[in-house]
């Protein structure tokens, strides 16, 4: 699955569409440089799951929990973490078993923590400023 996302609204819409395919226990691993669209995609996923929560990057809090939709969403950001143990210390395994959708920005920082079967999406900023997302 490859998509060209010309505007922020397209990235949010892409996330909403992805959310319609997600089931309890799924992991969404997002990869891409700063500003590539990971958080906007997460906004769409959370909205697509039916939550009206205000989504922001959990860079400093490490995880945000969004309730109120058909499934809870657990939004992680590995950007500022130095070791996989830091992720494990915030009850990572409990979130994986939490009955919701786990969304991880910067998932490639600790790929060993991402379970088999996760859906990996790579975001890239194109020369014209649009984003491209590729499922790998």
Q: What is the distance between the alpha carbons of residues 75 and 82, in angstroms, rounded to a whole number? A: 18
Q: What are phi and psi of 10, to 5 degrees?
A: -70, -35
Q: What is the distance between the alpha carbons of residues 77 and 127, in angstroms, rounded to a whole number? A: 26
The pTM score is 0.95
Query: Tokens representing 5?
Result: 């996302």
pLDDT at 128: 97
CA distances in angstroms from 32 to 4, 52, 84, listed in the order given: 14, 25, 19
Domains annotated on the chain, with CATH: 2-135 (3.40.50.300)
Average pLDDT over all residues of the chain: 95
pLDDT class of 101 with cuts at 50, 70, 90 = very high
Q: State whether the Cα torsion 16-68-31-94 is positive or negative.
A: negative
Q: What is the distance between the alpha carbons of residues 31 and 48, in angstroms, rounded to a whole number? A: 20
Q: What is the DSSP string of 56-124?
A: ---TTTSEEEE-SSSS-EEEEE-TT---HHHHHTTTHHHHHTSSSEEEEETGGGSGGGSPTTPEEEEEE
Helix H or strand E segment including 28: strand 27-31
Could you read off the pLDDT of 49-65 as tens digits, one per residue?
A: 999 999 988 777 789 99
Could you read off the pLDDT of 1-37 as tens digits, one per residue?
A: 799 999 999 999 999 999 999 999 999 999 999 999 9
């Amino acid at each position: 699955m490859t998509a060209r996302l010309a505007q922020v609204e397209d990235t949010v819409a892409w996330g909403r569409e992805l959310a319609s395919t997600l089931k309890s226990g799924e992991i969404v691993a997002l990869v891409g440089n700063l500003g590539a669209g990971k958080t906007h995609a997460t906004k769409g996923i959370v909205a697509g799951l039916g939550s009206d929560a205000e989504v922001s990057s959990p860079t400093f809090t490490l995880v945000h929990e969004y309730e109120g939709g058909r499934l809870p969403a657990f939004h992680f950001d590995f950007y500022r973490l130095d070791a996989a143990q830091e992720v494990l210390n915030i009850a990572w395994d409990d979130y994986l078993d939490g009955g919701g959708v786990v969304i991880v920005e910067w998932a490639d920082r600790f790929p060993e923590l991402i379970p088999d079967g996760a859906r990996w999406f790579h975001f890239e900023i194109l020369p014209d400023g649009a984003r491209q997302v590729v499922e790998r």
